[in-house]
Amino acid sequence: MTDEPRDGSGEAGPDPDPPGAARPADGPPGGDDSGTRHDGSHHDGSHQDGNCHDGSCHDRGRHGGTRHDAAHDDGPAASRLTGRAVVAERRLSAALAEVTLDGGQVVMVKRGDAPGAVRAEAAGLAWLAEARAVRVPAVRGHDAHRLVIDRVAEGRPDARAALRFGRDLAALHAAGAPAFGAPPPGGPEEAYIGRAPMRNVPGDDWPSWYAAHRVLPYLRRAVDEGVLRPAEAAEIEGVLERLPDLAGPAEPPARLHGDLWNGNVLWGADGRVWLIDPAAHGGHRETDLAMLRLFGCPHLDRVLAGYQEAAPLADGWRDRIGLHQLFPLLVHAVLFGRGYAEQALAAARGAPA
């Protein structure tokens, strides 16, 4: 690709577990189905290869819907936001366009209308890039409703890139955050994960913060919408009450991608892994890894091997995977229904006694 963003770093070691469970058939893995990947496939307006983790769509264009009558404005918007003339435009979806600028650089123009959504994503990309670890597309400009980022030229997954990705992801997490729940600098408190609102409210204690701001809001909404029965929700609440004993050794806040499912992992033609569509915030590093495992990822055993080599996980981390998956599963439950609610309940029931 042209004008590649900041360099990545890291290299890392071992954990031969296979990828996690596939999602149920009742809905996509996150966000809405109105957006697409960089090439027009679905997920959040900026993926490119035409595939979600199972061929469905997560939410590329994810920020609260789009204005279909404004689609033809993306070329002029790209010119205005980058200061460069547009020589070609290819519409990939209602929310996404691929635009070629004067000089040959190709960028993606995403649109999102929910208040603060574009600002949150732009701030998240900048914060991840600041760590100089995992690569992310450079932000070329944005306003209230449009984000212009570099297009990533994609290649194929391979074990060597996966190992390096694990090392780079460990370096990203080690870059840290001011607090659990801290938003990226310049990012709004009211952010999003897919179509779902996500509040970035800082806290000092991971178990209490995770319960209050990452699990309970979606659990309550799932009950209100009839996706979970009150008695089932009580089972999950019981696990949350035990989180201080289940969470493992205390760790400092990590710099999380925050929506790290396989569809947000691009295997670049340059042999490196790139991340897109963050819901970035300060959190526990095991949460990113648990979500990567939830929907599967090519060469996940090599990714985890690289991570373990660079920054070994605390003993018992495998037993905590389900705890960290409660958050994304309940987000999916409120967006896509009962199948994910049942998975969340199973994760809670699988918590150590």
- As annotated, the active-site residues are 259
Contacts of residue 352, Cβ cutoff 8 Å, sequence gap at least 6 = 246, 319
Q: What is the dihedral of CA 87, 118, 125, 277, to 10 degrees?
A: -90
Q: Is 99 helix (H, G, I), strand (E, B) or coil?
A: strand
Exposed, middle or buried, 180 (CB in 10 Å: 0-12/13-18/19+)?
A: buried
Identify which of 240, 211, 235 has the alpha carbon closest to the alpha carbon of residue 223. Answer: 235
What is the rounded CA–CA span in Å between residue 286 and residue 173? 10
* DSSP symbol at 251: -
Identify which of 162, 161, 179 has the alpha carbon closest to the alpha carbon of residue 282. Answer: 179
Identify which of 155, 138, 165, 144 has the alpha carbon closest to the alpha carbon of residue 300. Answer: 165
Q: Residue 55 corresponds to which amino acid? A: G
Structure tokens at 187: 């990012």
